[in-house]
Amino acid sequence: MRIHLTGNVNTFQDEALVFSHQSYSDNYDGDDLIKFTTMNPDNAPTLFTQSLDGVDLSFNKIGINSISIPVMAIAGTIAQGDYTLSFEIPSEFMLGACMTLEDLHTGITTDLRSDTSYTYATSDTTSLPRFIIHVVKDFNTQVGDLTCFGTSDGTVTIDGTGITGSMFELLDGGGNVVFSGSAVNDSIEITNLTSGNYDINTNHLGGCSIGNFFISVNQPAQVIANFDLVEDTLYLIDGGLLEVTNLSTATNYSWDFGDGNTSIDENPTHIYTAPGVYQVMLLADNDNVGQCTEVTSRNVVVMNEPLSILEMQWEENTNAFINNGRVVVDFDLKNNGYAEISLVDVNGKRIVSNHYSVSSNRIILINSDEVAKGVYFVNITIEGKRKSQKLFVD
């Protein structure tokens, strides 16, 4: 909750914040932030709240139970006039609570759930809090957000003394009832919720008879594992350095470079020391490590040095790939009817080498199960011009 203090005397202003969570204490502790005095006390107003043990705070972190919070709003000593307290209260702040602002000077009480501002006149410099924010809760409502994007493990837990037998109803954004039941042993739990906005209705009557209120069940961002290799073929003669560009949407990363080495850096580098074909694997996660993991991988070829292959392009389109267990080359030739095609492994050994009359748009070189798994180069020569294409067989 953000409280803002402005006046009609000058443009000076101040603000204070109040946070609520089940792990916070109502007394001063390391979670809170002490209020520092203004450098211009004659003109600038000062706003702060107090912890239950009387510490002046600009950030006040409180628990989730009913509480009365003293509020100090001091005008500048020569800037008395009309001032306005404005309240920004998120829907999830103190769920199901009645909230009122009491002016101890005038006796006026304002319902902060329906009126989020209060204007008053000041002409004194009292050192005592003028206002109290009363937060009254008949029961506590705790929302458990989704563990991962797209799951349905959201929860709502309601508990409070004296709510046994009271009915609670949960409606989705379309007004459909997704849960209806009564509290048992002063508690009720709703499970298996998807993300979204919900209304809670209840017939419970207590000190704060708020019949319905709004909650949100949130989900984390979708984990997407994705990366590019700066180069997918590395040469030991050049240092064997692998560089990646991480394109993931995640917060935690675990890399496996396929040679027994790993990393948890976002954009790691790695040096290979032996030739081979390595699978670089990325496991991406959000803060719920191990529960929302997505995996992706790329192959990297490590060679001692480049093969002596002249790479030339020409206007006709060709493409080599694996199709139904066979290594094939597709052509889209305009004028050429003959081609020399060879399949070469990373050591330069020719597996297949023949001249072909291209009478159709596809040439079958070899069945893929006749060669070992690994990286090969398909060299295509037409009228003295050569094109070389890398091919993975797995």
Which range (4-8, 81-85, 102-106, 306-310) has the least confidence?
306-310
Q: What average pLDDT does range 253-272 have in this prediction?
A: 96
In sequence order, the 6+-apart residues with CB closer than 8 A to the CB of 245 are: 227, 228, 229, 230, 267
Phi then psi dihedrals of residue 242, to 5 deg: -100, 130
Q: How far is CA 316 from the centre of its chain?
A: 46
Residue 332 burial (CB count, 10 A): 10
Phi then psi dihedrals of residue 173, to 5 deg: -60, -20
| In contact, 145 and 215? CB cutoff 8 Å | no
Q: Are strands 117-122 and 81-88 parallel, antiparallel or unpaired?
A: antiparallel
| Residue at 191: amino acid letter | T
Give me the domains of the chain, ranges plus CATH numbers.
Answer: 2-136 (no CATH), 140-217 (2.60.40), 227-303 (2.60.40.10), 317-393 (2.60.40.10)
Cα separations (Å) of 120 from 8, 87, 117, 123, 126? 11, 14, 10, 10, 15
Q: How far is CA 91 from the centre of its chain?
A: 21
Q: What is the pLDDT of residue 314?
A: 45
Residue 159 burial (CB count, 10 A): 15
Torsion angle of the four alpha carbons 316, 333, 318, 328, in this order, in degrees rounded to the nearest 10: -170
pTM of the model: 0.63
In sequence order, the 6+-apart residues with CB closer than 8 A to the CB of 194 are: 146, 151, 152, 154, 217
The span from the CA of 187 to the CA of 29, in Å, is: 30
The pLDDT tens digits for 117-174 are 999 998 765 678 999 999 988 888 999 999 999 999 999 999 988 999 999 999 998 9
At 61, which helix (H) or strand (E)? strand 56-62
In sequence order, the 6+-apart residues with CB closer than 8 A to the CB of 31 are: 24, 25, 61
The pLDDT tens digits for 200-233 are 999 988 777 666 788 899 999 999 999 999 998 8
The span from the CA of 120 to the CA of 98, in Å, is: 22
| Length of the chain in terms of residues written | 394
Q: What is the pLDDT of residue 133?
A: 96
Higher per-residue confidence, 340 vs 207: 340
pLDDT at 343 over 90: no
Report the Cα–Cα distance between both ends of the chain, in Å, rounded.
58
Q: Chain-wide mean pLDDT for the chain? A: 88
Q: What average pLDDT does range 344-373 have in this prediction?
A: 81
The candidate with the shortest Cα–Cα distance to 311, out of 259, 385, 361, is 385
Q: What is the pLDDT of residue 17?
A: 97
Q: What is the pLDDT of residue 311?
A: 46
Higher per-residue confidence, 147 vs 95: 147
Q: What average pLDDT does range 77-102 have in this prediction?
A: 90
Phi then psi dihedrals of residue 123, to 5 deg: -145, 15
Q: How far is CA 154 from the centre of its chain?
A: 16
Return the structure tokens found at 268.
């790691």
pLDDT at 306 over 70: yes
Q: What is the pLDDT of residue 335?
A: 58
| Residue at 81: amino acid letter | G
Higher per-residue confidence, 113 vs 49: 49
| Dihedral sign computed on CA atoms, order 80, 54, 139, 16 | positive
Q: What is the DSSP letter of 79?
A: -
Longest CA span, the chain: 102
Q: What is the pLDDT of residue 241?
A: 96
Q: What percent of the chain has pLDDT over 70?
A: 93
Q: What average pLDDT does range 17-31 have in this prediction?
A: 91
The candidate with the shortest Cα–Cα distance to 77, out of 128, 130, 40, 50, is 40
Q: What is the pLDDT of residue 359?
A: 65
In sequence order, the 6+-apart residues with CB closer than 8 A to the CB of 54 are: none
Residue 356 burial (CB count, 10 A): 16
Question: Can you tell me whether residue 285 is helix, strand or coil?
Answer: strand
